[in-house]
Amino acid sequence: MTYDLVIKNGTVVDGTGAARYQADVAIADGKVAEIGKVTEGAKRTIDAHGLIVTPGFVDPHTHYDAQICWDGAVTPSSWHGVTSVVMGNCGVGIAPCKPETREIAMKDLVNVEGIPFDVLNKGITWDWETFPQFMDAAAARRPSLNLAFIAPLTPFRHYVMGDASMERAANAEETHKIATLIGEAMDAGALGFSSTTLNQHLGFEGKPLACRNASREELKAYANQLKKRGKGAIEIALTRQVGVLESDQAELLDFLLTESGRPVTFIALFDRDDIPDAVRNTLRLVAPQIAKGARPQTSPLPLTRECTMENPFAFAAFPSWKRVFADTDKEAQKKVYADPAFRNAFRHDLKNPTGFSDWRRIVVHDVKNQALKQLERKSIAEVATLQGKDAVDAFLDLVLADNLNVEFTISSWNTREDRMRELLNDKSILMALGDGGAHVDMLCDAGYPTYLLGNWVREKQAITLEEGVRKLTSDPADLFGLKDRGRLAKGVPADVAIFDPAAIGSSNHGERRFDLPGGAKRIVMPSRGVEFTVVNGAITWEQGKLTDAKAGKVLRG
């Protein structure tokens, strides 16, 4: 027979953790037709001599819910060998949504995921109301990648309860209606549901995101929808302090595991040098839940982000900053920043930090006011010393002097190589947190698959190639029940990444592009060494460029 595509002479790493081997891979009708020595002809042949051939990477933690409306290529994930993305994380999303509440849904995304309102207002197509309709609309756009969806709890609660969802728990009747909708979403193919308990997850008008008001009775009803169907998973943002799980949160995790009978993955397990044993203590505390199916998430990247104080998400965990999120008008924000009472409250918060505690980690990246140019590349600690000020005053005075335009770079966690080796080699930990589509003007971590393979596999040899590939493929696919994805085997859908092991990589310092709706800025992370990506048998990335292929599917659990 004549195949559609044959990948010749490559080194196959099949995604299961098994040892690599030399083989050809033949593809026909969107599926892997043969692995071994292929002698038949093909419409297209790729010589993969010296290259690694793996399953396409599966990114389990993205926020592309809105972006898929204007970017069917799902960039930059599609540049990094990713063939499937899971969105709807952290309890926030845009479906289900009634026409009259679209502004609330968008402003939830603005505050929680750092996506500018004008971008959302220009870019979201709103060709759906219910969650099944949202999934159908995504499929109708013929995306380049496979799209998978978790049902985010906030819009489900708001769809049933209206504004009351932002103020209180649901009553029994409301809980039944929400649970029924979640069940319908799962029957349509949703992979489970998501929620959050994080203090910094403030939505519309600076109020706690609606899912944060869910009672235990509610969560039991929603988790039982998974148990009833014997499928799906729960994703929850859980830790009050990054990397620090507390006993009540471990108890909630255990509750969700018991009531769903399904895996629960939680964030965020970043290594912190300011709390040196936080990760180790968390893993010890959560060991019983891990044995029941809990999966903490981390990223292989050292976290670096850009931010402005017009979109101060990095400070949302501090209680004093709730005032800033209550009114996002620029002039209103400036009044808050100038207020001595706000500054004193912020100083008080810093005595028990939930986000950062070291002003040396915040560096002035760019200013518009020419009189301030000499402060660029200096940390706030250095600025405070130069000006003889307290760091809070130096920081906020600078923000006001540049009319909220100053851009900062914040370096936070995952900076210690020895501890990162521990995390990378712990099979209970899910490699994720790329956050693709979110915080677009501050950071881009969506290139973590190529960073993992370049930095931790090749350069530091912290984990083997086989284990690195498994963490990017079958591990996340299996968590969400995508059993035919994330592995190379005869008969499975032909999602394939082909890369040069000597060149694969990316920087964790993104590049600026102005390609969002309305020409808005975003940070992207380009890739290196990804030669080809194949999605359902179609080549979507070829030697540094996207193709016109649109073979992606909505993956239904």
**Contact predicate 138/68, CB 8 Å:** yes
Return the pLDDT at 356.
65
Provide the token pair at 521: 């800025």
Return the pLDDT at 272.
87
Crossing angle for the helix pair 153-161 and 172-187, to the nearest 10 degrees: 130
Return the pLDDT at 247.
95
Q: Among residues 121, 100, 98, 126, which one has the least CA distance to residue 110?
A: 121
End-to-end Cα spacing for the chain: 33
Return the pLDDT at 242.
85
Pairwise CA distance, residues 23 & 13, whole Å? 10
Give residue 154's Cα distance to chain centre: 17
**String of DSSP letters for 102-133:** HHHHHHHHHHHH---HHHHHHH-----SSHHH
Pairwise CA distance, residues 293 & 253, whole Å? 10
Q: Among residues 144, 149, 57, which one has the least CA distance to residue 537?
A: 144
Return the pLDDT at 355.
56
For the domain 59-302+414-487, what is the CATH code?
A: 3.20.20.140
Identity (one letter) of the amino acid at 305?
A: R
Pairwise CA distance, residues 476 & 482, whole Å? 8
**String of DSSP letters for 289-344:** HHHHTEEEEE-SSPPEEEE-TTS-GGGTTSGGGHHHHH---HHHHHHHHH-HHHHH
**Contact predicate 110/207, CB 8 Å:** no
The set of residues, in sequence order, having a beta carbon less than 8 Å from that of 209 and lying 6+ positions away, is 91, 92, 108, 112, 154, 196, 201, 202, 203
**Contact predicate 202/111, CB 8 Å:** yes
Give residue 308's Cα distance to chain centre: 20
Residues of the chain predicted below pLDDT 70: 353-357, 508
**Contact predicate 474/102, CB 8 Å:** no
Pairwise CA distance, residues 454 & 545, whole Å? 20
**Contact predicate 497/57, CB 8 Å:** yes
Pairwise CA distance, residues 184 & 182, whole Å? 5
Return the pLDDT at 353.
61
Provide the token pair at 445: 């971590």
302 preceded by cis ω (within 30°)? no
Q: Among residues 442, 441, 382, 383, which one has the least CA distance to residue 412?
A: 442
Give the ranges where 361-437 is alpha helix by DSSP (H).
380-387, 391-401, 417-424
Pairwise CA distance, residues 38 & 41, whole Å? 8
Pairwise CA distance, residues 377 & 16, whole Å? 45
Pairwise CA distance, residues 166 & 212, whole Å? 8
Tally Cβ neighbours within 10 Å of residue 547. Answer: 15
**Contact predicate 224/179, CB 8 Å:** yes
Return the pLDDT at 241.
83
The set of residues, in sequence order, having a beta carbon less than 8 Å from that of 189 and lying 6+ positions away, is 135, 149, 554, 555, 556, 557
Domain boundaries, the chain: 59-302+414-487, 306-411
Return the pLDDT at 354.
57
Return the pLDDT at 233.
98
Pairwise CA distance, residues 14 & 232, whole Å? 24
**Contact predicate 300/456, CB 8 Å:** yes
**Contact predicate 535/552, CB 8 Å:** yes
Beta strands 233-237 and 192-196 are parallel
Pairwise CA distance, residues 231 & 357, whole Å? 41
The set of residues, in sequence order, having a beta carbon less than 8 Å from that of 190 and lying 6+ positions away, is 88, 131, 135, 149, 150, 151, 182, 232, 557
Using alpha carbons only, give the angle 489, 493, 494 rounded to the nearest 5 degrees. 80
